[in-house]
Amino acid sequence: MNAPSTVLRNPGPSWGYQFLLGAERWSPDWLFRPVLMAGTAVGMAFMPEQRKYSREYLELVLGRPPRLGEVWEHFYAFAEFLILKLRAGRGVEIRCVLAPENRAEFEALARSDRPALFGTFHVGWSDMLGYLLSDWDRQVSVLRVRLSNSEDTRLLGKRFDGKVSFLWVNDPANFLFELKDAIQAGVTLALKCDRLNFHARTEVFDFLGARRVFPFTIYILAVLFNRPVAFCIGLPGAAPDTLAVIASPVFTPDPAASRQANLAAGRAHFQGVLHQLEAVLRRQPLMWFNFLPLNPVAPPPAA
């Protein structure tokens, strides 16, 4: 693949991932946890924009201005997830436990040989789902933004080499051709459907008390290539190194229906997914890992 024209990076020093990986692996937990907590506070102090957006989101979901300690807890929840990704990348087994809701329907699709589109969000431990789908002997291609200092992605890609590949979205010209080739080759795709960057098609849905703009690309692809769509959200499980997965119903385009009818059914399906997501965030507000502006509120329709 050609190098993307735009290469971004995660916040923090270039040596940060290697330091965390070594400290988590070789330090006792009684020493590592206080260091991680202190490091979270330092990182939070040097990330004013992310801190601002964390406050804005927490105020909306909590219904009141968050305390400083709650903002720190938000950052620390993300730090714990980063540690989990690094652990998984170095070989620690992460067990996936599906919630009863929609489990049979989701498992039937995941275990089938039908190419599918699996969507998720920057929520909780959902970043692990593309790799865990490979447990069902699926070849999964994960749509990701290439970052110059993403050690977690490099380690996970190395661990699941042969089962999981990446489609880098930074270069739109190359990406569109590679996306089409992957779908036509029968590869299952896993993609995030909350951030608006790199998405050409959007729609408006109810979410967190307002009509907000969300990407709709996954349903355009589903109707265009006749692929089923399922969403899942990964959350910390009850046991260590366990991923609790909440699945949505499966959306399957109807070949006998018109494109407009299928897209309307896709809108209804995604609205149900967002209601499910909002219910999760009301219960576990620290699991929203978009330290960015919330999805914009759509202007009211013209009279």
Summarize pLDDT for 123-162 with one digit per residue, the tens: 998 887 776 676 777 778 877 766 654 555 665 666 666 6
pLDDT for 6 equals 47
Q: Determine if the pTM surpasses 0.85.
A: yes
pLDDT for 156 equals 61
The residue type at 93: E
pLDDT for 186 equals 80
The tally of CA atoms less than 13 A away on the side-chain side of residue 21 is: 19
Give 128's DSSP letter: G
117: pLDDT confidence band, cut at 50, 70 and 90? very high
Percent of the chain past pLDDT 90, that is, above it, reads: 53
> Mean pLDDT, to the nearest integer, of 17-39?
83
8: pLDDT confidence band, cut at 50, 70 and 90? low
Residues 6 or more apart whose CB falls under 8 angstroms from that of 291 comprise 47, 49, 50, 53, 54, 78
E-state strands within the chain:
95-98, 117-120, 140-144, 164-168, 188-192, 202-207, 210-215, 229-236, 242-247
Residues 6 or more apart whose CB falls under 8 angstroms from that of 264 comprise none
Nearest to 220 by CA among 185, 164, 265: 265
Q: How far apart are CA 129 and CA 218, in angstroms?
A: 16
Q: How far apart are CA 145 and CA 170, in angstroms?
A: 6
pLDDT in tens, 171-196: 666 666 677 777 777 888 888 999 98
